[in-house]
Structure 1
C-alpha cells in the first residue's frame, strides 16, 4: 500500500518539458510560480511543482521536495475550481482532506491516517448541494476532552455518528492510560444507552498525550439459503489523539 500510494503521488507531477507559459497560482495564501517537472530530473526537484491539462489549465500543484509532494497537494477541475486538497507527508495523505464538486461546493471531508504503512480513512463527512451534512452516509465523531485535566481520574466524552446498519452492534472505547513509570494499561469503557463517556488518567503534572480508539463491534447475519444463515463478527475502529495539560489539583 505504501509503495502504491508513493508512486501515485509522485507520478502526478512527472511531465516532459515543453514550451509552456509561466503559471502563477495562489498556494496557501502565497502567489507562487509553478514549475513543470522533467521526468528525468523529478527525483532532484524541490519547489512548487505541478502539471496541466492539455488546454494548459493547471491540474495539480504542491510544494515538492526531491520529487515528492511534501506539503498541501491541490487538484483542480479544468474550470479552475479546487477538486480536492490536503496535506501529504512521506507519500501519504495526512489529516483532513476536502473534496469539492465542479461548481466549487463542498462534497466531502475525510480524515486520513497512516497505520502500519497503509492509508486508513478514519472519518468521513458528506454534504448535499445545500451544504447540509448527509448523516446516513457519514461516519465521524466529536471528541470532548478538556485542554486541561487533573492529576488522577478524569471523565471525557464524545459525540458519534455512524453509517453502519447491522443486526446488532456494541461500542466501546479503549484508552492507553499510564499509571506509573512501569505501568500502562489499555482500559476499556463500554458505551450503552448513548452515554458516550470514558475515563482518562492524568499521570503527572505537565503535558500528556491522550491516545485511544472508538470501536464498533458489528454482528451481521447473512442468508446463505432458503432456511439457513451465517453470523459474522467484525470490528470498525476510529482512532484519536490529543495533547492535554495535566494540572496538580493540590496546588
Structure 2
C-alpha cells in the first residue's frame, strides 16, 4: 500500500481540530473508494469477486494443482501444464498448441470424428462398428489405414517391403477391384500368383490351371 498521509491530532486538540480531522478522513475515504488501484491493493484474498473485465496484461491469474500442474492466464496467453509439459498453449500471437489432446465432434452420437493420440491419430465413425482409422503403430511401428464394417476389418499397411491390403483370416472378406474401363498393372518386376489354380474366370467358372490342363489333354489327344 502507499505510505499513509493522514497525520494524527495535535497535542491538546480542540473540538475544531476533531471536526477538521473527521472531514479529512471522510474525504480520503470517499477518494479511496473511487480510485482504488494497484497502489492501494497488493494482495487480496476473497471468496467471491464479480468483475466486468480483468486485464490479463497487468494481472496474472493462476491455479496450482498437485504434481506441479497449473493453469495460467497472463499477458503471454493461456497455459495448461500437467506438471512436466504444456498440454495446451495459446500465445498472444493467436497460435494454439495442444499436446496429448483428444478432440471429438460429439461425445457418443454419430456420425463423428475423433483425434486421439492415445489409440489412433484419426477416426471417422458412422457408428460404433463402422469407421475408418489412421493408426501410426499397428504392429512394429508400421502405419496403417484400418477399415471396419459391422465388426469386420480390412487393413492397408506399409510393412517396409510392400504395401499390404489385408483382410483377417476367418472373416470371409475378399478384395474386389471394380472399374468401368481397363485395369492397368505396371511393374518393373514380376506379377506373382500363388498358383494358376488361384486365377479364376467368373465367366467360364474354371481356373487357369483347369484350362491349362484341358489344353494339355487336347494336345495330347492330337498326338502332339
Q: TM-score scaled to structure 1, two decimals? A: 0.28
Higher percent of residues as helix = 2
Q: Which has the larger radius of gyration?
A: 2
Q: Relative CO higher for 1 or 2, CA cutoff 8 Å, sep ≥ 6?
A: 1
Q: TM-score scaled to structure 2, two decimals? A: 0.30
